[in-house]
């Protein structure tokens, strides 16, 4: 998470502010280089089909021809983004991005499935960037192909469509704006030399050049026999059943590096 300037490394310190219940006044923005406002959501028919009572993350059921597959900004998020100038006054170098998605957020698979949907999504991202004077957009699709373990719509073609969606967003926002993603630590996201299902969620080697950087999600590792949510190294005293089931931060980072992600990405 660094770049080299005049022989010295300049690190990114990325913070996330969850707009639902987030306290903007409690954040010292002089301590971060990038601030992601979470989350923008997506207008989509999936919400309409399932109903708000079962939707992990809901958006208004307003599906006009121009809104389907576009980004919906909840009021709390819009309120925070309206204060961008105040944040920049505190830290003129601060980069502010909108994060779209999050756990249980619906609509990615359908938006990415067609060229029209991808273009609508990308254009709406550009419009929000321009409206609030943001420096970029961050996509948090959890996850292509997997669909959050089945809680949101997914399809096998998500793997290729994710690449196409990122390409469309990059074209819409330009090279001067930041495009990042929240990346899963699991080998299904990147690939593995020991797993038969390696890399089945993304075309990892193809998405890296499109992005400015990836925010690697090194948390929520506890499942099965893995006891720790974010262990730095293999937990020798309380080890998982095996190295395939177990996850820890260094393993996730090494897996990214071994599959072509630059160390400064």
Element (H, E) at 172: helix 158-173
Residues 6+ apart with CB under 8 A from 222: 228, 229
Check if the beta carbon of residue 196 is closer than 8 Å to that of residue 250.
Answer: no
- Is the omega angle on the peptide bond into residue 30 within 30 degrees of 0, that is, cis? no
Torsion of CA 169, 175, 178, 184, to 10 degrees: 60
| 136-140 and 95-101 beta bridge pairing | parallel
The DSSP H or E segment spanning 97 is strand 95-101
Give the integer Cα–Cα distance in Å for 56 and 152.
9
Distance CA 41, CA 61 (A): 12
**Which residues are known catalytic residues?**
142
Q: Residue-wise over 171-204: b if at least 16 C-beta within 10 A, else e?
A: ebbeeebbbbbbbbbbbbbbbbeeeeebbbbbbb
As given in the structure block, the two tokens for residue 153 are 């719509």
Burial of 5 (0-12, 13-18, 19+ CB in 10 A): exposed
Q: From start to end of 204-264, where are the E strands?
A: 213-216
């Amino acid at each position: 998470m660094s770049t080299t300037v005049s022989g010295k490394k300049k690190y990114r310190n990325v913070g996330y502010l969850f707009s639902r219940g987030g306290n903007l006044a409690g954040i010292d923005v002089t301590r971060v280089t990038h601030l992601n406002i979470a989350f923008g959501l997506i207008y989509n028919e999936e919400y309409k089909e399932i109903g708000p009572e079962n939707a992990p993350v809901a958006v208004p059921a307003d599906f006009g021809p121009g809104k389907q597959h576009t980004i919906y900004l909840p009021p709390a998020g819009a309120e925070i983004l309206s204060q961008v100038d105040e944040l920049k006054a505190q830290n003129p170098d601060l980069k502010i991005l909108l994060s779209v998605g999050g756990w249980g957020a619906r609509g990615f698979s359908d938006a990415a499935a067609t060229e029209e949907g991808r273009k609508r999504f990308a254009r709406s991202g550009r419009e929000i960037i321009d409206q609030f004077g943001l420096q970029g957009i961050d996509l948090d699709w959890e996850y292509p192909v997997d669909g959050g373990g089945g809680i949101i719509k997914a399809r096998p073609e998500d793997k290729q469509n994710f690449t196409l969606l990122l390409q469309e967003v990059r074209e819409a926002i330009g090279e001067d704006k930041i495009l990042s993603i929240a990346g899963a630590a699991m080998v299904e996201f990147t690939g593995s030399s020991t797993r038969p299902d390696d890399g089945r969620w993304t075309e990892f080697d193809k998405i890296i050049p499109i992005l400015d950087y990836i925010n690697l999600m090194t948390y929520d590792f506890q499942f099965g026999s893995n006891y720790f949510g974010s262990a730095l190294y293999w937990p020798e005293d309380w080890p998982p059943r095996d190295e395939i089931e177990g996850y820890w931060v260094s393993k996730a980072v090494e897996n990214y590096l071994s599959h072509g992600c630059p160390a400064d990405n």
